[in-house]
Amino acid sequence: MESRARNLGRLIEHTRRERGRTRLDLVAALGDRNTMKGLRRLQRLESGGIAPREFLDRVLSVLAIDGTVVRDAMARDASDRERWLDEDVQLRLVVKPMPGLYLDVPLPPTAADDTVAAMEHARQVAREKGMLVSLVCSRRRSVWFGADGNLLGETESGPVMRLRGKVPVSFQETTVEDDLSEVTSSSPFH
């Protein structure tokens, strides 16, 4: 399962079709001057719940979807996301040789299922390669080591994550601040 807002997207697509509207018709009713941009936004919204908040608000208004139904879909999406985040994942080692470039490095078999051994291996790789290294322990938690092998801190994802630079609309109404993840003060991201 992906972490997108499928329930909200399905609700919007179902309502649009139920009301006899095509995507083009709906975009025209929204009053967007750039039709192609509006169509792309609507397609992304219907396929995964990703859109600017103002666009979502206009779509909901034009389709006259009840707020309670929307909140229910958003709550289901949040619940689905939490289940997805809690699924077991394989430990992964990621190195950052330069800004914007992240590479997976295989863990030795002795560390593949042992977090403590994987952390020690990550520390060693960071020191040997002189690079920033992250041990991805779960979809929620990563441990970071500096180029000198010292522990920099941990990052833990919250209920909101960026996807292609946008916040899925179904998660925007959470109480988490716009800073999208809890990061320790010694994290490499400060």
Taking the domains of the chain in order of start, what are their residue ranges?
6-86, 92-183
Antiparallel, parallel or unpaired: β 151-157 and 141-145: antiparallel
CA distance to 65, 101, 147, per residue, from 90 (Å): 40, 21, 24
User: Does the CA dihedral 48-55-52-81 come out positive or negative?
Assistant: negative
For the chain, give the mean pLDDT. 81
**pTM for this structure?**
0.60
CATH assignment of 6-86? Answer: 1.10.260
Residues 6+ apart with CB under 8 A from 69: 11
Cβ pair 80, 5 in contact under 8 A: no
User: What is the chain's length?
Assistant: 190
3-state secondary structure of 31: coil
User: What pLDDT does 15 receive?
Assistant: 96
DSSP letters, 44-112, are: HHHHHS-S-HHHHHHHHHHHT--HHHHHHHHHHHHHHHHHHHHS----EEEEEEETTEEEEEPPPTTTT
Percentage of residues of the chain with pLDDT beyond 70: 80
Percentage of residues of the chain with pLDDT beyond 90: 54
Closest CA to 189 of 156, 158, 148, 160: 156
Query: Which has the minimum average pLDDT: 84-88, 102-106, 126-130, 150-154?
Result: 84-88
Q: Which residue has the tokens 């992906």?
A: 2
Question: Tens digit of pLDDT for each residue in 70-92?
Answer: 999 999 998 998 888 888 788 99
Question: Tens digit of pLDDT for each residue in 142-162?
Answer: 999 999 999 999 988 654 434
- C-alpha 60/C-alpha 174 separation (Å) is 19
